[in-house]
Amino acid sequence: MSWVRRREYSREVEVTVLGGLPLTAWYNIAGPEPDVGLPFPWIDDWCLVDGRGRQATWAEGRMTEKDVEELFTELLSTDQWRLRL
């Protein structure tokens, strides 16, 4: 478990964002909830962390919606959950 600002994260993986910036993504994955329109596992909460363990909010703020979508796809594909299409 990892903690940032009193939030608990169960998973972490090294990622590169914004054209090659190495950071760590801390995140939680929630299971599918088909009754509310979420048929697949999804990222429930996440943050980017620098090498000193501090949240990199400045990097998160510079990411476009497409960057975040690509990051989520990477996080889900590296995790034990597998999307079934």
Q: How many residues does the chain have?
A: 85
Give the pLDDT confidence of 22-73 residue by residue, as tens digits: 999 999 988 888 899 888 888 989 999 999 989 999 999 999 999 999 999 9
**Which residue has tokens 């990222």?**
43
d(CA 85, CA 82): 9
Q: Model-level pTM?
A: 0.78
21: number of Cβ within 10 Å: 13
Give the pLDDT confidence of 11-34 residue by residue, as tens digits: 889 999 999 999 999 999 888 888
d(CA 51, CA 23): 7
Pick among 1.10.10, 3.40.50, 3.30.300, 3.30.70: CATH of 2-78:
3.30.300
**Which residue has tokens 């996080």?**
75
d(CA 1, CA 29): 13
